[in-house]
């Protein structure tokens, strides 16, 4: 049985033990802008028995709400990546949705370039390829009223939060800070990833098209393809079990390979 290191503030453990008869796998979930680790809490009952599951918990949300959110991408990535190094002795999957996809990609790239280690599989979801301009309007520049209206149109954010003035005043600065990081990100040329890369998206996503999803193939030497699900930008909330099953159906052979390298 493999025990994970004690999680720091950056990680929320959902399940950290696996059967002694099974080779453990670690799944790290990177949430969308403004969200915390609990955005993936509903996945716990769907992940395979050997999977040790963690949610990434950035400052400015949930139990870290009192900490200011990151305002620059480089320190966010480096802080997370240095934390992750000690977790990669077993096969590992990164899953990132929207803003979280960009964070997951950058952390995976940092680990390959600076720590000499690749994650077993990187799964990016509902995000344009970072080296290609997406062309969508910049939400972080909008007034609060228009910004909230756009968030409501995308779905995924609880209406009871977006319609509650006091709660909204607490979460809006973090959502806007994350969106600014995402929308002002500048990709720097670097070697393609060694990690296998799988891409997910929603068929009716108004901000991320199939072309945007396919362009991720240019960033890895081991592209595993694009899978499109019914739904919009937050398609994964409709059927989390189907998403989890799709991750491991494709990733499993590559995780077995990584554990024998």
Q: For residues 195 and 216, give the distance between their C-alpha atoms in angstroms, rounded to a whole number.
A: 13
Does the active-site annotation cover 258?
Answer: no
CA–CA distance, 259 with 248 (Å, rounded to integer): 15
Whole-angstrom CA distances from 129 to 137, 153, 190 are 16, 22, 14
Q: Are strands 223-229 and 25-30 parallel, antiparallel or unpaired?
A: unpaired
Question: E strands of 22-110, at which residues?
Answer: 25-30, 51-56, 92-97
Set 18, 19, 38, 98: catalytic member: 98
Find residue 30's DSSP bridge partners. 96
Calculate the alpha carbon distances from 242 to 35, 77, 252 in Å: 21, 29, 15
Rounded Cα–Cα distance for residues 203 and 175 (Å):
24
Structure tokens at 49: 């028995």
Cα Dmax for the chain: 54
Catalytically active residues are 98
């Amino acid at each position: 049985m493999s025990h994970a290191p004690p999680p720091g503030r950056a990680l929320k453990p959902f399940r950290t033990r696996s059967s002694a008869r099974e080779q453990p796998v670690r799944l790290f979930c990177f949430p969308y802008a403004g969200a915390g680790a609990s955005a993936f809490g509903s996945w716990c009952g769907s992940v395979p028995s050997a999977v040790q599951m963690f949610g990434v918990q950035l400052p400015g949300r949930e139990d870290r709400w009192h900490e200011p959110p990151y305002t620059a991408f480089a320190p966010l990535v480096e802080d997370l990546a240095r934390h992750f190094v000690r977790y990669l002795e077993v096969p590992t999957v990164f899953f990132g949705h929207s803003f979280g996809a960009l964070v997951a990609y950058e952390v995976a790239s940092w680990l390959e370039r600076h720590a000499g280690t690749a994650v077993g599989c990187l799964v990016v979801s509902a995000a344009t390829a970072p080296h290609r301009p997406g062309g969508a309007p910049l939400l972080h520049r909008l007034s609060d009223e228009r910004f909230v209206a756009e968030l409501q149109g995308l779905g995924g954010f609880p209406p009871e939060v977006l319609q509650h003035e006091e709660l909204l005043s607490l979460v809006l600065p973090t959502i806007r800070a994350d969106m600014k990081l995402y929308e002002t990100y500048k990709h720097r040329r670097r070697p393609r990833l060694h990690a296998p890369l799988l891409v997910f998206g929603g068929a009716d996503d108004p901000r991320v098209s199939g072309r945007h999803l396919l362009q991720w193939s240019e960033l890895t030497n081991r592209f595993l393809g694009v899978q499109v699900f019914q739904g919009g930008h937050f398609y994964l909330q409709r059927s989390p079990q189907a998403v989890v099953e799709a991750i491991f159906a494709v990733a499993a052979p590559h995780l077995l390979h990584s554990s024998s390298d």
